[in-house]
Structure 1
Amino acid sequence: MSDHPGLGFTPNEMMTIAASRVLKNDDVCFVGIGAPSAACNVARLTHAPDITLIYESGTIGAAPDVLPLSIGDGELCDSALTTVSVPEMFRYWLQGGRVSIGFLGAAQLDKFGNINTTVIGDYFQPKTRLPGGGGAPEIATSSKQIYITMAQGKRGMVEKIDFFTSFGHGDGGDHRQRLGIGTAGPTLLITDLAIWKPDPASKEFTVVSLHPGVSRKEVQATCGWTVSFAGAVEETPAPTELELKTLRDLQARTKAAHKGIGKEKVA
């Protein structure tokens, strides 16, 4: 259900579509599973048909008909232009500077774009053990830019993350440069309520656009740090009919396939 039922779309749909819009036809995008994968494939199915989607398992130019459950989902290999070994994927493609956008999600995120997907609580006695980093730490440092997408909530957007899985802007400012990391790092955060960009100097994420029907108060109420707003905050354009239909059709196909009602029926 939508928090703003009169708008005809849900906050999650707005988030996914807003994230899809920032991708360009000539991008080479290293895709995370979940919300990033949905956004990237909506872009591919609408305004960016030639975007190159790369998944961690080694699939290059993946064009899945349904959203993958994991990086090892056969749908990725079936639809990819080619599949390379994981070492080649990381050394040649990612560390070789051939990936323009790394698209990541987060369990915990701080205002400088540092990501935790490892543990909640103490590392040795965690409250929750998360899936871990996988390739995300390397994606975060080697992709030319990082886009992050996640639903807002005080449990996820925190003043201090419990574990540094993927390095964003560290303590802010020129921290990346001081560590010898030459890529731009997180340049965009898209949540279900707003679009954020890092301040040019401090690198603290700042709200630049509110989604339709969302107030500043709502953004602050679901964020664990004191939110900074840009001098002129815009309103995110609402999803178009084509964008919504593309996303909903993709999700419907995915749901059917994962229920075993796939494209092929066995007699």
Structure 2
Amino acid sequence: MVNYRISDLMTCAIADMLEDGETVFHGVSSQMPMVAMHLARKLHAPNLVHLNIPGGVNPGTVKQSSYSSAGADLVEAGESYFPLDQIFDLSMRGKLDVAFLGGVQFDVNGNVNASVIGDYHKPKVRLPGGAGSAVLIPTAKKAIIWRTKHDPRTFVEKVNFVTTRGNLWKIITPLCVFVFKNGKLQLDSIHPHTTLEEVQAQTGFKLIYDEIRYTKEPTARQLQTLRQIDPYDYRSTEF
């Protein structure tokens, strides 16, 4: 029995989604994807190209100043410089394989809300807005969203506002992994520590799935490598 935390499982699951040779981007406040990209490069995807919001390419290590995943150290430790405007251009030309993006509210049709909760003109909460998501979700080959919260207010039947729609690939949460398939958000796997009933109780729409699959647990090698590459435990920052 290998002991691990949910942040470990999610980071390893994200790393497993990445393939060797892919060009992958993460933005600000993306500590978990940042660590997952390092993990993938270390274990099974040495030719993965790691891009980030300050413009660093393949930063060699996770340094203590990387708390925001947008620090200058990611450029200083990088092999070269690739600025943000070029990343948008790369994605719109169909050359960005994976983009890690955020959102606050998601519905069964794959719509993402990062703008407002409630009525747009009189919102209960005004959110950060689309920013890069509005460009990168429609244009990246695979858009992956991670959330450290899974409840009926996050996964809803219909979002309050459509910031961007479609072209999602996967959403990973502390309970499960969703995949966008045939125009709907479907259950891809549930994590080993939970049940289908719990996932349904915490989801505001009826789950769609072909069969019940379980997310692969982290291996001892993955966990050992995580401790080496992420000694400051940035993968757990959002919990």
1:250: Cα distance to partner? Answer: 4.1
Name the CA shift for 1:211/1:86 in 2 (closer, same or farther; >3 Å).
closer
Residues 189/139 of structure 1: CA separation in 2 closer, same or farther (3 Å cut): same
Deviation at 1:132, TM superposition (A): 2.5
Q: Are residues 1:212 and 2:192 paired?
A: yes
Secondary structure at the counterpart of residue 224 of structure 1: coil
Report SS of the residue matched to 1:253: coil
Separation in 2 of the partners of 1:72 and 1:188?
A: 23
* CA shift for structure 1 position 71: 5.6
Q: What is the match of residue 52 of structure 1?
A: 49
1:153-186 Cα offsets, whole Å, 9 max, x none, are 2221122222222322xxxxxxxxxxxxxxxx11
Once the two structures are superposed, the pairs formed by residues 143-182 of structure 1 within 5 Å of their partners are 143-151=140-148, 152-168=150-166
User: Do the aligned partners of residues 72 and 189 (structure 1) sit closer, same or farther apart at CA in structure 2, a change above 3 Å counting?
Assistant: closer
CA distance 1:130–1:48, change in 2 (3 Å): same
TM-fit CA distance, 1:225: 1.0
Give 5+ residue unaligned stretches, structure 2: none
Is the CA contact (8 Å cut-off) linking 2:144 and 2:170 kept in structure 1? Answer: yes
Deviation at 1:64, TM superposition (A): 4.0
Q: Residues 106 and 37 (structure 1 numbering): CA distance in 2 closer, same or farther, change over 3 Å?
A: farther
Contact 1:102–1:145 at 8 Å: present in 2 too? yes
Kept in 2, the 8 Å contact 1:59–1:76? The answer is: yes
Aligned residue pairs total 231
Flag the 1:138–1:62 CA change in 2: closer, same or farther, 3 A: farther
Determine which of 104, 107, 111 is the counterpart of 1:110: 107
Query: Who is 1:238 aligned against?
Result: 217
Does the 8 A contact of 1:35 with 1:105 survive in 2? Answer: no
Identity %: 29
Larger radius of gyration: 1
Q: Say whether the 8 Å CA contact 2:55–2:83 is kept in structure 1.
A: yes
Kindly tell me: are residues 110 and 7 of structure 1, through their superposed partners in 2, closer, same or farther at Cα, counting changes over 3 Å? farther
Does the residue aligned with 1:140 lie in a helix, a strand or coil? helix
Amino acid at match of 1:205: L
Map 1:11-160 onto structure 2 (within 5 A). Answer: 11-32=6-27, 33-66=30-63, 68-70=66-68, 72-91=70-89, 93-151=90-148, 152-160=150-158
Gaps of 5+ in 1: 1-5, 169-184, 259-267
Distance 2:4 2:69 in 1: 28
**Matched AA of 2:207:** V
* 1:189 lines up with 2:171 in the alignment: yes
Q: For the residues of structure 2 that align with 1:35 and 1:115, how far apart are their CA atoms?
A: 20
Letter in 2 for 1:221: A
Tell me the TM-score normalized by structure 2.
0.84
